[in-house]
A = this chain, B = another copy of it.
Amino acid sequence: MKSRQVLLVARPVGAPKPSNFNLVDVDVRDPGPGEILVRNIYMSVDPYMRGRMNEKQTYAQAWQVGQPADGRAVGEVMTSHHPSFPVGALVVSNLGWREHFVSNGEGLMAIDRALASPSAFLGVLGVPGFTGWYGLKEIGKPKAGETLVVSGAAGATGSIVVQIGKILGLRVVGTAGTDDKCAWLTKDLGADAAINYRHGDLEEQLRAACPKGVDVYFENVGGAILDAVLGLVNPFARIALCGMISQYNLEAPAPGPRNLRNMVGNRVLMQGFIISDHMKRYPEFLHEVGGWLKTGRIRYEETVVEGIDRAVTAFLGLFSGDNTGKMVVRLGLEPARSGSR
């Protein structure tokens, strides 16, 4: 059968351009013994993919020029010769930017549609949510009453961190790039304050929002926000470095935070982390955050872009802040929910 997939055809220098990618038609073979054919329904675009477009390998394997981009997707099993993945099952894969694929099941995870809608397994119940949960709890080590700042707070990970922060009894301050996102953070997600980093003096706004200083910082952005937070850190503050989206498209690294020396006197801990090191905690996360989702203590938003031909647009939109919550690309229709559940 015919299917489409996105290739990386040239490594971007600075900000990626549509010409770095190509959408091609491919033949998908029939699944053999022990294999399944999957039709992807949603695929994920995430900021970390920018690093994979570079030649130099970071923690995730670099994409190869001329080869398909990959990443998380959720799809439906269409043909099955594998007992663990029957026809109709929904599976999360890590093969990304393609409409169909054949697999022997390795690396696939069946998901429970009763817990949440399929796309949620790319966001709130997937890697972004897991990342936020782990980083806040294990690196941030928050205590009720402390002040938590979250940058990129309206993003897939940030929006979960904000809500877990509130559940844990923290004062939560989020930063985002539009007034609408800020309103969503305070009105819908319960943040105590939200700062539009595009307006006014960031340090001044942050100081006003954090009258008792900053105890925990969850970092998704880097640059000026990190610097401003370092100017306000309390003794024994913890900084979870999840990402630095402001830096990924720079051709040459920008100068870093001026206030780094505050880390000495205030005994600040800063820890970079990558969630793939901690996958054994995923069931615990799924249990806790899945529970909060069911009882309505955690909510989530998605920005859905339609069609694999717009996958690159969706990816590039991450860097201009086009998304509120998780950015996903819809590749096909969700199957009807069957039966009596």
Contacts and interface: CB of A to CB of B under 8 A. Distances in A.
A267 B273 contact: yes
Interface in A262-290: 263-274, 277
Given A235-B59, A255-B256, A256-B256, A272 B265 contact: yes
B261 A247 contact: yes
B264 A258 contact: no
Given A271-B269, A272-B267, A258 B259 contact: no
Nearest to A222: B261
B255 A242 contact: no
A265 B235 contact: no
Interface string A237-254: 000011110011000111
Given A59-B235, A244-B261, A261-B244, A267 B256 contact: no
Nearest to A256: B256
- Chain A interface bracket (under 10, 10 to 19, 20 to 34, 35 or more): 35 or more
A269 B267 contact: no
A243 B271 contact: no
A252 to B, nearest CB: 8
A255 B227 CA distance: 10
19 contacts: A59-B235, A59-B265, A59-B266, A222-B260, A222-B261, A243-B264, A244-B261, A252-B258, A254-B258, A256-B256, A256-B260, A257-B260, A264-B272, A264-B274, A267-B271, A267-B273, A267-B277, A268-B271, A269-B271
